[in-house]
Amino acid sequence: MMALRAHARGGPEQLVYEQAPAPSAGPGEVLVAVHAAAITFAELLAWDLQWTTRDGKDRTPVIPSHETSGIVAGLGAGVAGQAAGEEVVGLIGFDRDGAAAEYVVVPGASLAAKPQSLSHVAAATLPLAALTAWQALADHAGLQPGEQVLVQGGAGGVGIFAVQLAAILGGHVTATGHSADAGLVRDLGAERFISAEAGCPSQAAGGFDVVIDTVGGAVLDGSYGLLREGGRLVTLGAPPDQELAGRYKGPRHVLRRRAGR
């Protein structure tokens, strides 16, 4: 088969479109004919498991793109719940080859039915970003209907899903972003938009039950003071600063959810 492979760490300049061995499905695995694949930012630089096996052996050349949408082309022994010809989406572990190829092998448990309303290209954006947003809101923040939610970076890869899911879960959503993204973010379900260029207004301090930070850096540092007492901050890119959290009054719960982990 043809595949996009990286023979060394680095950026896009390391990628080569070339012949690669076609995979076959083992026990519990599904062979998927790839129709679309998504690549995580900095994927070629991060996640050591992509480059070495768990016992330290070199894995290069590697195939990137660990989110995929495609059609079931074969089933390994013991697979239940999938059938040849079905449209599926999946999240592929970073310790195995990704979907920038004609075919990819995925554990059956890591696949789900592709939403019929979405194209393969749109569906391939779901597995990592949408799952991260869901875990941040539902699993870590425990968002409840009627709560005030702030999504820092509402037009980003995870942010667009966090805005939509927070609204679906019954939250009153405020999102930050660049001014040009205001219309998009409101269309996704945000009741209020705050321009990143202007910064959060002082009246926002202490007003949110949940803050989802997808930006990091100074934006994360400024997020602690935006929570009410007992509020929850979920970060995606870096561990929360417990010392900084401790400067604010009240039992705020500061959590961490790193994308893809």
Instruction: Tell me what pLDDT residue 261 has.
Output: 42
| Cα gap 66→201, rounded to integer Å | 38
pTM confidence score:
0.83
Instruction: Tell me what pLDDT residue 259 has.
Output: 42
Domains assigned to the chain: 2-124 (3.90.180.10), 128-256 (3.40.50.720)
Instruction: Tell me what pLDDT residue 238 has.
Output: 72
| Cα gap 193→208, rounded to integer Å | 14
Write the DSSP assignment of 89-119 as a string of letters.
EEE--TTS--SSBSEEEEEGGGEEEPPTTS-
Instruction: Tell me what pLDDT residue 56 has.
Output: 73
Q: What is the pLDDT along the chain (261 residues), one digit of tens a residue?
A: 999 998 887 778 888 999 999 999 999 999 999 999 998 766 766 555 567 777 777 788 989 999 999 999 999 999 988 999 999 999 998 888 999 999 999 999 999 999 999 999 999 999 999 999 999 999 999 999 999 999 999 999 999 999 999 999 999 999 999 999 999 999 999 999 998 877 666 656 678 999 999 998 888 888 888 888 888 899 887 777 777 777 765 435 555 544 444
Torsion of CA 192, 198, 200, 201, to 10 degrees: -90
Residue 115 in tokens = 């939403």
Does residue 190 contact residue 174 with C-beta atoms inside 8 Å? yes
